[in-house]
Structure 1
């Protein structure tokens, strides 16, 4: 039997990107005039505007360095539940980024999850969203509503807490990996196992 395809975003779904970026900012700008420690829970903007001492170029730089990947941690329960999902689904990680970022993501996935997961890097310089990836008959999980909106996946779930970039309604929201796992196992039993 062919396994259903599961497409997962990387940043904000598998890994806690916000915490990693905030940690780097707090380390690097601690001694700057006007510095105020920022907590991950205070971030409510896509471009980390709450981190007042740094420019957008700094955050772009962070995303493309090994140091950022050394700070990355799995979202709570993501690692163990991802392993369980690999028994029932053909898992792909689909992520947006510049070339150095995509190369480092691929390496991180290989080293921290499994070489059996297929990584699809979508170059930010060439594509504004992930619609270039054919997800026909698949399930897509992302924390960015625009990526869900433009995808051709059959089933779409928005992941995580509500932010300005994912307030779109019309998608089932999974706040945690426990929620996500339950939804995916249910969908698999009700749709894919009956085919």
Structure 2
């Protein structure tokens, strides 16, 4: 039986995203709550779209989003900021967290096929840290699809040549977990990375 492990990047292979976002907002002098309200990419209902969705599908680049965010902050809150390089600097605050990455390597060594499935914000990835961890790296902005769209999960399953019932998925965003489970994928909600790693370890050792 061919088994697959698919994991997210931000918040799964890094420290929690909120930590990075809070440090970024403080460094940029941005009001955190107001900025997050604008960037709330999971707020729209199914069928609706959002500028952040376009970014994640690669239809808009990071500078375009920074310009939009600057305009939104000024229009709604009277806050004036320079958009130059704003989003790219956010990723300077993302710190690696290797517990689940190491489990990916263990799974792959044990015969599982593995993939990283990440919604990108036109950001660089530390691919040099992923040696021997993944059979496939699927970045939303490179393939024109985003989580939690059903088609991106189907694409990942097709790339790995595996059935949903034989796949485990780890992510830190609940809409993505729900979407994966609706397809029959075993999904681990990484609200707490240590707990998620422990749950994954049990599955890998079964």
Alignment TM class, shorter chain as reference: 0.5 to 0.7
Does the C-alpha gap of structure 1 residues 6 and 125 become closer, same or farther in structure 2, counting only changes over 3 Å?
closer
Residues 107 and 204 in structure 2, CA contact (< 8 A), matched pair in contact too: no
Unaligned residue ranges in structure 2 (runs of 5+): 39-65, 73-82, 158-163
| Map 1:144-159 → 2, pairs under 5 A | 144-151=173-180, 152-159=183-190
Residues 13 and 96 in structure 2, CA contact (< 8 A), matched pair in contact too: yes
- TM normalised by structure 1 equals 0.59
Q: Deviations over 1:152-184 (max 9, x none)?
A: 253111111xxxxxxxxxxxxxx233x333322
Aligned-partner Cα distance in 2 for 1:8–1:93: 5
Higher helix share: 2
| Map 1:48-63 → 2, pairs under 5 A | 48-49=36-37, 57=69
Residues 96 and 130 in structure 1, CA contact (< 8 A), matched pair in contact too: no
Unaligned residue ranges in structure 1 (runs of 5+): 161-174, 191-195
In structure 2, the residue matched to 1:96 is 119
Aligned counterpart in structure 2 of residue 114 of structure 1, from 131, 138, 159: 131
Query: Are 2:86 and 1:87 aligned?
Result: no
In structure 2, the residue matched to 1:183 is 199
Aligned-partner Cα distance in 2 for 1:97–1:159: 18
Aligned-partner Cα distance in 1 for 2:201–2:99: 15
Greater length-normalized contact order (CA 8 Å, ≥ 6 residues apart)? 2
Higher strand share: 1
Q: What SS does structure 1 have at the residue aligned with 2:119?
A: strand
Calculate the aligned-residue CA RMSD, in Å.
3.8
Residues 103 and 201 in structure 2, CA contact (< 8 A), matched pair in contact too: no
Q: What SS does structure 2 have at the residue aligned with 1:13?
A: coil
Residues 131 and 147 in structure 1, CA contact (< 8 A), matched pair in contact too: no
Aligned-partner Cα distance in 1 for 2:90–2:29: 15
Corresponding residue pairs, total: 152
